Amino acid sequence: MRICVYGAASPTIDEYYKQEVKKLGLEMAKRGHSLVFGGGGHGLMGAVADGIHEGGGHILGVIPKFFNDENIEAVFENCDELIEPDTMRERKQIMEDNADAFLIVPGGIGTFEEFFEILTLKQLCRHNKPIAIFNINGYYQEMLEMLEQATVKNFIRGGCLDLFHISENIDELLAYIEKPAKEWKISELKDG
Ligand code: AMP
């Protein structure tokens, strides 16, 4: 499968996260999956790409031209394919169109935005691809609690939080992604 991984660009996060995400990349390659990602060479984007590359898997990087033109971020050097759109919006569309599943690893606002967009689109039945979160060190615990609170208070519709799987275990995450996603109909959205 082509798995799109969203994750931190930051080079200054704790090494532990990078080690875990590199293991994820290695395991993805071992199971025959390829990587679609934001093309960055640092942080957890660099780590997952390192793992896939070492494991012999295929890598598609999608990074807007201005990252290079404005020296924002070094591109991962070993992409098998690199697409350089003009804008961030085009980039997200290309990543979505080229992925069979989405895996979110720890990250900052860029990663949060990517997760919430892909979840919103699934809630609206614009795709039915698996979404999984790698909750390393409980990084996403508070976000999950916030989403549960929002559901209790009826800001998020019932059933929405069943549209993704969250785990600290790589095998469990990949097994979830490899299963066909449960059928989801817009009529299943429950108000309150
Ligand atoms: P963040 O979580 O804020 O570090 O942003 C990372 C996510 O946003 C990645 O999944 C990328 O798709 C995108 N992104 C943000 N900043 C960069 C960057 N410097 N290089 C490449 N992608 C980035």
> Ligand 1 centre and the CA of 8: distance in Å?
6
pTM for the structure as a whole:
0.94
The predicted structure's pLDDT at residue 181: 73
> Ligand 1 centre and the CA of 186: distance in Å?
30
- What total of structural domains would you count in the chain? 1
Residues belonging to the chain: 192
Ligand 1: does its nearest atom lie under 6 Å from the Cβ of 85? no
The predicted structure's pLDDT at residue 39: 96
Range of the domain at 111: 2-188
> Ligand 1 centre and the CA of 32: distance in Å?
25
Question: What gap in Å lies between CA 45 and CA 107, rounded to an integer?
Answer: 9
In CATH, what number is assigned to the domain containing residue 105? 3.40.50.450
Ligand 1: does its nearest atom lie under 6 Å from the Cβ of 3? no
The predicted structure's pLDDT at residue 188: 74
The predicted structure's pLDDT at residue 132: 98
The predicted structure's pLDDT at residue 190: 67
> Ligand 1 centre and the CA of 31: distance in Å?
26
* pLDDT tens by residue, the chain, 192 residues: 999 999 999 999 999 999 999 999 999 999 999 999 999 999 999 999 999 999 999 999 999 999 888 888 789 999 999 999 999 999 999 999 999 999 999 999 999 999 999 999 999 999 999 999 999 999 999 999 999 999 999 999 989 999 999 999 999 999 999 997 777 777 777 664
